[in-house]
Amino acid sequence: MFFSRLSACFLSFVLALGGFFGWKPVQPPIVSPPEEVETMEITSDYVIVKSASARDAELTAVNTLKDILFQMSGITFEVVDDTSTPYTAREIIVGATNREGYHDSSVYILDRPALGAEGVFIKTVGETVVITGGAPRGTLYAVYTFLEDYLGCRWFSKDLTVIPEVDSLEIPREIDYFHVPVLEFRETDWISPRDVTWSVANKMNGLVYRYLDSSVGGGVGYAGGSFAHTLEWLVPKSYFETDPEMFALGVKSGKRTVSQPCLTNEKTLAVAIENVRAWLDSSPDRQIISVTQNDNTDYCVCANCRAIDAAEGSQAGTMLRFINAIADELKKYPQYDHVAVDTFAYQYTRKPPKITVPRDNVIVRLCSIECCFSHPLNDPCCERNVAFANDLYTWKKICNRLYVWDYTTNYANFLGPFPNFGVIQPNMKFFMENNVVGIYEEGNYQAAESDGEFADLRAYLLAKLLWDCDIDLDRCMKEFCEAYYGEAAEYILEYIYMTTAKTGQKSIFGQRQHMGIFEYIGNACVMKLSIFDIFHTDGLWENAKNADLTEEQLTRVLKSEISWRYWKATNKVREFGLLTRYESSQQLYSDIKALGITRIHEGAGGLMADKVYFMDPPGRWSTSRVPAIILF
C-alpha cells in the first residue's frame, strides 16, 4: 500500500514536471452528437410488405427486420405479400415488390440496375418506409443499415450486439439513402469475422473465413479451398522427378528447385490448367480461381524466363503471360464465364510489367507486405510507401480488376502495439480512389489464440471501412469503445490516439522512422514516448481498470492492456526496469496465460513456451525463440 501510494505520488510529480516543461497528453478528437432531426413513429399498425415470390436472402431480410423490431419494441409486425394486400401508407416495404417501378400505382421509383448485387436503398415516402437493395445481398444489407443507422442497433463483435429497447420506434421523417459499395470483394479475419451473423451485419462478403449460403445471399469466393500461394498445389512437386524442367532454375538456389514452377515450360502450363479446371469443377459456385506464386522469392531464371522478364522489366512478365494463357483457356468454356483468374503482385512480381496487360478475366492482387503502416500509403514523405503507390498507379492503368492484400497487425509480435489506427482510413480511401475493387485486410488470423491487441475493434472498423471508406471513423471507434469497455472507454480511446500520434516519429538524427509488419516492439518507429508519456499512459490504464466495469468489460480492459505491458516489457521501462523486471515479466506471463492467450507470433513456433527466460522481452517467449537452455 505504502509503495503504491509512493508510486502514485511519484507519478503526480513526474506529470507535474511534464506540465512545467510544456508536455501535453494526446487527446482523442471531439465527436459531436448526431444532429437533431424530425422523426416519425413506426406504430403497431404498420405492416411489413414483401414480394409474394421472395426467397432466400430477401426472406431472411424480412425475418431479421421483424425479429429485431420485436426485440426493440415488443411489437410483432404482420408480414404480408405485395400481390394479396393493397397498398396503404403505413407499410415497411422490404425488397423488390410491386410497390416499386414505373406504373400508375407505384409508391417509388428506383434505378434497380444501378444497385448491382449489393447496393442499398432506404427511403421514406410520406409515412411509408422502403428498405430494399440489389440481389442477392442488397436487401439484407439494407435491413442491417436501417437498423444501425436509424434505430441505433450495432453488431460490434460476435459476443456484443446492441439492440436498444425503446418505448417507441422513432426514425427520421426524411430518409433518402443510396449506397453501392466500391468493393466487390471485402474480407478480413481476426475473430468476429468468422461468425456468419456478424459478417452479414457488417457486410463482409468474402468466403475465405466463413461460409455464406443462399439464405444470406452467398458471397464472393475462391475455388479449391485456397486463395494464396496455390502454385504449390496446381503444379505439384511430384512432377519434379520425371520433369525437373517444369520447376524453377532458382535465382537463389542456382539449380532446379520445387520452390517455384518454371512459368515458360509448356507442361507446367498444361498441368496448371488441368488442376485449375478440376478446382473450378469441384466448386462451381465460386467466382475466382487463385493462381499465385509460392511464398518464397526463388523464382525461375532459365533462359526463357529471363528473356521475358528482362523485356518486361519485372518477374511479373512471366507470371502474367502464364496467367493470361490460363485465362484464355477458360474463355473457351461457357461454364467458366463467371470466373476470373487471380494472381499476386507480391514481392518480386509487385512491379508491373512493361508489355503484357492482364486479360479482362484476370484479377491482380497487389500486396503491401513491404510497406510502412505508421504513415499512409500515399504519404509522399514515406519512401517505403512511395514505391508501393507508384506500382499501384501503374497497375491501375493496365488492370480492370485490381485487388489489394493489405496488412493490419504485427506478425512477429501479435500482442504488441501496432499503432496503425491513423492510417486505416486514408489507406482504404487511397485504394478505392485508385480503381481497387477488392480488398483482403489481413489481420491477426490467429487472434483467437492471441487476442491482446484490439482484435474486435480492428475487425469492426475494417469491416465498416470496407463497406464505405467515408464513414466517421472517430465516431465509430468511440461508439465501439463505449459499448465494449463501458466507463473505461475514455481512457482506452486516449491510449489509442496517443499511440497513433507517437508512431513513425523522427529519430534523434531527424530521420523519419517507418513501421513494418514484422517490427521489433523496441524499435522507436513503433512508438517514441517521453518519460511523461509513459507515466501518463500508465495512469490511463490504472484509471481504466479502476472504472466501474462489469466483469466482462474488465476482462476486455485487461486483455487490451497486454499490448501496453508488452511494450513496456520490451522497452525495459517502469516495472520492467532492471531491478523488478524478472518479477514483472513473470506476472505478465501468467496474466497472459490466465486470459487464455497462447500465442506470441505467427507460424508453427509462435505458441508461448512453457518455460521462458523472464529477463528476455516477451517477443522471445515463443517456442521458436526461447533459448534452448531454458527449454530443456
DSSP letters spanning 232-263: HHHS-GGGTTT-GGGEEEBTTTSSEEEEEE-T
Of the pair 262, 437, the CB lying nearest Zn ion is at 262
Question: Judging by beta carbons within 10 Å of its beta carbon (0-12, 13-18, 19+), is residue 46 exposed, middle or buried?
Answer: buried
The span of 256-264, 358-366, 548-556, 582-590 binding Zn ion (CB under 5 A) equals 256-264
Round to whole Å and give the CA distance between 577 and 520.
Answer: 18
Q: Tell me the residue nearest to Zn ion as measured from the CB.
A: 372
300 touches Zn ion (CB under 5 A): yes
Of 262, 457, 534, 547, the one binding Zn ion by CB under 5 A: 262
Nearer to Zn ion, 129 or 251 (CB): 251
d(CA 527, CA 509): 16
Pairing of strands 39-42, 160-162: unpaired
- Identify the DSSP state of 6: H
Q: Work out how close the CB of 237 gets to Zn ion at its nearest, in angstroms, rounded to a whole number.
A: 16
- Interface with Zn ion (CB under 5 A), residue total 10
The residue among 211 and 518 lying less far from Zn ion, judged by its C-beta, is 518
231 binds Zn ion, rule: CB under 5 A? no
The contacts found for 82-91 with CB under 8 angstroms, 24 or more apart, are 82/49, 82/50, 82/51, 82/52, 83/52, 84/52, 85/47, 85/49, 88/47, 89/126, 89/127, 89/128, 90/43, 90/45, 90/46, 90/47, 90/127, 90/128, 91/46, 91/47, 91/48, 91/49, 91/128, 91/129
- Cα distances (Å, whole numbers) of residue 200 to 137, 205, 317, 544: 9, 7, 38, 32
Tell me the three cell numbers of residue 108.
Answer: 417509388
Distances (CA, A) of 115 to 135, 140, 186: 8, 13, 17
Give the nearest distance from C-beta 303 to Zn ion in angstroms.
Answer: 8
Quote the least distance from Cβ 393 to Zn ion, whole Å: 18
Q: Which is nearer to Zn ion, 193 or 376 (CB)?
A: 376
CB of 522 to Zn ion, least distance (A): 18
Can you tell me the distance from the alpha carbon of 202 to that of 460, in angstroms, rounded to the nearest whole number?
8
DSSP letter at 156?
Answer: E
Task: Decide whether 351 or 514 has the Cβ nearer to Zn ion.
Answer: 514
Interface region with Zn ion, contact rule CB under 5 A, candidates 294-302, 391-399, 409-417, 420-428:
294-302
| Pair 196, 261: CB distance under 8 Å | no
Q: Which is nearer to Zn ion, 321 or 574 (CB)?
A: 321
Q: What is the DSSP string of 487-523?
A: GGHHHHHHHHHHHHHHTT-B-TTS-B----TT--TTS
CB-nearer residue toward Zn ion: 223 or 382: 382
d(CA 462, CA 585) in angstroms, rounded, equals 32
Report in angstroms how near the CB of residue 385 gets to Zn ion at its nearest: 6
Pairwise CA distance, residues 138 & 136, whole Å: 6
Q: Give the nearest distance from C-beta 310 to Zn ion in angstroms.
A: 13
Contact region with Zn ion (CB under 5 A), list: 191-199, 225-233, 296-304, 587-595? 296-304
Using the contact rule CB under 5 A, the part of the chain among 166-174, 300-308, 412-420, 429-437 near Zn ion is 300-308
CB of 392 vs Zn ion, minimal distance in Å:
16
Contact indicator for 461, 484 with CB cutoff of 8 Å: no
Q: Which is nearer to Zn ion, 248 or 461 (CB)?
A: 248
Looking at 90-98, 259-267, 274-282, 353-361, which segment touches Zn ion (CB under 5 A)? Answer: 259-267
CB of 330 to Zn ion, least distance (A): 23
Which residues from 353-392 bind Zn ion, rule CB under 5 A?
A: 372, 374-375, 382
If the CB atoms of residues 294 and 374 are measured against Zn ion, the closer one turns out to be 374
Shortest reach from residue 166's CB to Zn ion, in Å? 46
Least distance (Å) between residue 511 CB and Zn ion? 11
Instruction: Give min distance, CB of 306 to Zn ion, in A.
Output: 8
Q: Which stretch binds Zn ion (CB under 5 A): 154-162, 297-305, 470-478, 577-585?
A: 297-305
Q: Which stretch binds Zn ion (CB under 5 A): 92-100, 230-238, 262-270, 276-284?
A: 262-270
Using the minimum distance from each CB to Zn ion, give the nearer residue, 523 or 598.
523
Residues 472-531 that bind Zn ion (CB under 5 A): 514
Cβ closer to Zn ion: 400 or 505?
505
For the segment 124-163, give every residue that binds Zn ion (CB under 5 A): none
Q: Which is nearer to Zn ion, 388 or 395 (CB)?
A: 388
Select from 189-197, 301-309, 450-458, 591-599 the region that touches Zn ion (CB under 5 A): 301-309
Query: Which of the ranges 106-114, 179-187, 254-262, 612-620 carries the binding residues for Zn ion, by CB under 5 A?
Result: 254-262
Residue 381 vs 579, nearer CB to Zn ion: 381
Give the helix ranges, DSSP H, for 354-488: 383-398, 424-433, 455-467, 473-485
Distance CA 62, CA 45 (A): 17
Q: Least distance in Å: CB of 383 to Zn ion? A: 8
Q: How far apart are CA 110 and CA 131, in angstroms?
A: 12
> Smallest distance from the beta carbon of 437 to Zn ion, in angstroms?
26
CA distance 397 to 410: 31
How far, in Å, CA of 496 to CA of 417, rounded?
9
Q: How far apart are CA 332 and CA 335, in angstroms?
A: 9
Q: How far is the CB of 259 from Zn ion (least distance, A)?
A: 12
Residue 512 CB, shortest distance to Zn ion, in Å, is 6
Cβ(600)–Cβ(450) under 8 Å? Answer: yes
Q: Residue 255, Cβ neighbours under 10 Å: how many? A: 10
Closest approach of Cβ 264 to Zn ion, in Å?
5
Select 382 or 389, whichever has its Cβ closest to Zn ion: 382
How many helices, marked H, and strands, marked E, lie in the chain?
18, 18
SS3 333: coil
54/382 with CB nearer Zn ion: 382
Q: Where are the alpha helices (DSSP H) in 283-375?
A: 303-312, 316-331
Q: 476: phi > 0 → left, psi -120 to 50 → alpha, else beta; which?
A: alpha
Q: What residues numbered 302-341 form the site for Zn ion, per CB under 5 A?
A: 302, 305
| 396 vs 514 by CB, closer to Zn ion | 514
What are the residues binding Zn ion (CB under 5 A)?
262, 264, 300, 302, 305, 372, 374-375, 382, 514
